[in-house]
Amino acid sequence: MDKEEAKKELESLREKLTKWSREYYVLDAPTVEDHVYDENYKRLLELEAKFPELVTKDSPSQRVGGRILTNFTKVEHEIPMLSLGDVFSKEELADFVKRLNENAGADFGYNCELKIDGLAISLTYEDGIFVKGSTRGNGTIGEDITENLKTINAVPLKLNEKISVEVRGECYMPKKSFVDLNKKREAEGQPVFANPRNAAAGSLRQLDSKITAERNLSIFIYYLMEPEKFGVKTQSEALKKMASWGFRVNGESRVCSTMDEIDAYLDEYQAKRAGLEYDIDGIVLKAEPFTVHELVGNTVKVPRWAIAYKFPPDEQETIVRDIEWTV
């Protein structure tokens, strides 16, 4: 492929991906399946890697998330809220682990976590009291959704300790709530949500918190910001610490030391996926030691010390069928 052809294809990819991102992040109404987005995005990355001079500032590879809705107050994230790099095969996952271990010059464990399919949120506490909650937005600027988050039972309004802390996690809609909500909307002649992720996003970004309160949302917290303040040195310790303060932390994570253990975790949760009460679209591997996080840092869009393995697309259909049969 020559440069002229690449330029044309990149323009078309950017246009498609930008349209799909807007539908997904801003309108909460995607028109294509995630794997279609992912395949086109991967192609964009391939072409940009081959022709770096064709990378534009507005390329989806240079942006995190979507645009911010103007009807919410803006919140600046002092520490950007990033996305995650992703891989689609065990080989790519093994390559990531090998490269990271080489770059960091050591072997270390990985905390394997479920990749909850919701939307990222940030919660700030002052002296143990919940003071601010926001969406990821475009990574540096998010939307202030404090009042809506206060309606979610799993968001602690007060912690067990009088600490000042920022944590991040995922807000999601349980599968059962999603099915019930869509049934209700259908009966009322309203458009149904495409999936629990979009239903959660639509429910959280409501100007009337009463609507959010009716939607049965929940959260899992998975990031502790500035862990050094609390003497925490690894991701698994951070999860335990946050649980001890009163945060809802997913109980299915596990520290794995070898690639065999990581593969076993992946297989186990791919098999358990349909039976979970919430949607997951993959697993996330995070280097256990925070010293590694500091050492390798982040790109503009993703941390270099973590990766998401995304499940193959056909699994999703099974889940939708399962919900229909079980509810």
Residue 301 among the catalytic residues:
no
User: Strand order in 110-116's β-sheet?
Assistant: 86-87, 306-310, 280-287, 110-116, 254-256
Q: Can you tell me which of 10, 13, 30, 156 binds ligand NAD, judged by CB under 6 A?
A: 30
Q: Can you tell me which of 10, 13, 28, 37 binds ligand NAD, judged by CB under 6 A?
A: 37
How many residues bind ligand NAD (CB under 6 A)? The answer is 21
Find out whether 204 and 143 touch, Cβ atoms under 8 Å.
no
Distance of CA 280 to the CA centre of its chain: 10
Q: Does 48 bind ligand NAD (CB under 6 A)?
A: no
Residue whose CB is less far from ligand NAD, 85 or 128:
85
**170 assigned ligand-binding residue:** yes
Q: Does 115 bind ligand NAD (CB under 6 A)?
A: yes
The Cα 239–Cα 113 span in angstroms is 11
Instruction: Report the nearest approach of ligand NAD to the CB of residue 147 (Å).
Output: 21
Rg over CA atoms, the chain: 20
With 0-12 / 13-18 / 19 or more C-beta atoms within 10 angstroms meaning exposed / middle / buried, residue 136 is buried
SS3 category, 285: strand
Instruction: Report the nearest approach of ligand NAD to the CB of residue 318 (Å).
Output: 17
Find out whether 6 and 47 touch, Cβ atoms under 8 Å.
yes
Residue whose CB is less far from ligand NAD, 245 or 311:
311
**293 assigned ligand-binding residue:** no
Q: Does 75 bind ligand NAD (CB under 6 A)?
A: no
CA angle 19, 23, 27 (to 5 degrees): 140
| Structure tokens, 228 | 């050094």
Instruction: Report the nearest approach of ligand NAD to the CB of residue 92 (Å).
Output: 14
Residue from 8, 16, 74, 115 carrying the catalytic annotation: 115
Instruction: Report the nearest approach of ligand NAD to the CB of residue 237 (Å).
Output: 16
Distance of CA 35 to the CA centre of its chain: 15
Backbone φ, ψ for residue 110 (5° rounding): -120, 135
Backbone φ, ψ for residue 54 (5° rounding): -95, 5
Residues comprising the binding site for NAD(+)? 34-38, 83-84, 113, 136, 170, 286, 310
Residues comprising the binding site? 34-38, 83-84, 113, 136, 170, 286, 310
* Binding site residues, ligand NAD, CB under 6 A: 20-21, 23-24, 30, 32, 34, 37-38, 65, 83-84, 86, 113, 115-116, 120, 170, 222, 284, 308
